[in-house]
Structure 1
Amino acid sequence: MTDQENKAPEGTGKKQKERLKDADKQARLAEALRANLRRRKSQARDRKDTGEDDL
């Protein structure tokens, strides 16, 4: 085998890093959406308990 055959294709590491970066971003966005949903549900429950309905 030659050195050329043992090497990974160029750009593979970069693409893998980009995919990991994108996956991390997606995970952060998903967590932010869940936190937002929890906050909105809590606010809706509070409005229901106090009788407010400002929407």
Structure 2
Amino acid sequence: MFYMLYSTVTYVMSRRVLSTILIANQALFSDSRGILTQLYFSNAQLFPAVRNTSTGVSL
């Protein structure tokens, strides 16, 4: 009896954690291009020599 209750609680908690992780991943993937361009432009401002030598291939 106790084991069934424990397994049910852990199952519900793991499902909740998985759903929140999936939602966070969807938000990250939808905004990944904007984050990557922001990172690239901040790196280009920080390291102008890297921007001048490479043609934007390496972040």
Give the Cα–Cα distance (whole angstroms) in 2 for the partners of residues 41 and 35 of structure 1.
10
**Misfit runs of 4+, over 4 Å:** none
CA RMSD of aligned residues (A): 2.0
Unaligned runs of 5+ in 1: 1-12
Give the Cα–Cα distance (whole angstroms) in 2 for the partners of residues 34 and 46 of structure 1.
19
Instruction: Kindly state the Cα deviation for residue 43 of structure 1 after the two structures are TM-superposed.
Output: 1.5
Sequence identity of aligned pairs in percent? 7
TM-score by length of 2: 0.56
Unaligned runs of 5+ in 2: 44-59
Q: Which residue of 1 aligns with 2:9?
A: 21
TM-score by length of 1: 0.60
Per-residue CA distance 1:23-50 (angstroms, 9 max, x = gap): 00110011011001001111113345xx
Instruction: Kindly state the Cα deviation for residue 14 of structure 1 after the two structures are TM-superposed.
Output: 1.1
The number of residue pairs the alignment matches comes to 41
Q: Which residue of 2 aligns with 1:42?
A: 30
Q: Secondary structure at the match of 2:38?
A: coil
Q: Which has the higher contact order (CA 8 A, sep 6+)?
A: 2
Q: Highest Rg: 1 or 2?
A: 1
Q: Which residue of 2 aligns with 1:52?
A: 38
